[in-house]
A and B are shown apart, each in its own frame.
Chain A
Amino acid sequence: DQQVKQNSPSLSVQEGRISILNCDYTNSMFDYFLWYKKYPAEGPTFLISISSIKDKNEDGRFTVFLNKSAKHLSLHIVPSQPGDSAVYFCAANFNKFYFGSGTKLNVKP
């Protein structure tokens, strides 16, 4: 029973356009959310986070939005670059982290 779900296994976007990665969760007790980025043959690396008391956090080209009423998290990348091509995991925390299954983003030049 996955508490954090990423329903899109893959996403393809043209360079320069916006990439939107989505994540849904079921546990209203989650109080901290993160996005990790993973390249092949490497471990996931932290990208951006948001606390449940906020609805938006921005860091350069990356913005995370949190909609608590919908239990929905999204990551926006603007503009997308070929180097952003990777697998993106969302994670939610309540005592421990629960990860989604990942979305593979392909940014086409």
Chain B
Amino acid sequence: DAGVIQSPRHEVTEMGQEVTLRCKPISGHNSLFWYRQTMMRGLELLIYFNNNVPIDDSGMPEDRFSAKMPNASFSTLKIQPSEPRDSAVYFCASSLARPQETQYFGPGTRLLVL
């Protein structure tokens, strides 16, 4: 298995632009997670899906952030409009069933908003 796949690996954009991050979970995994890593706050859970349904989005910072999972093999995290403080590494992870299962992380997308 190729593991969790994320694209793009790096994204540089200007403030105000829309940013879309993509994730393909490991086949057969039913839970998908979006995390953000910053120096100040470490790894923060933004949202997680179970069987394509958003279960907990309490970590989504504000309305500028939205996430979708249209099917079991694809998810997006969108930021619109982007701001410099959104600059971080965004990780997608998946697990077999419940959130309690060990999560497998993708390589991350490094986002820089100028």
Binding site for B on A (CB under 8 A): 2, 6, 32, 34, 36, 41-46, 49, 89, 91, 93, 95-102
B47-61 to A contact mask, C-beta < 8 Å, 1/0: 010000000100000
A interface majority secondary structure: strand
Among A43, A97, A100, which residue has its beta carbon within 8 angstroms of that of B91? A43
- A101-B103 contact given A43-B4, A43-B91, A43-B93, CB 8 Å threshold: no
* Contact pick for B42, options A41, A42, A99, CB 8 Å: A99
The docked-state distance in angstroms from the alpha carbon of A41 to that of B43 is 15
Complex contact A34–B45 (CB within 8 A):
no
Q: Whole-angstrom distance between the alpha carbons of A46 and B95 in the complex?
A: 12
Give the 5 A-B CB pairs with smallest separation, nearest first. A101-B42, A43-B105, A99-B43, A46-B102, A44-B105
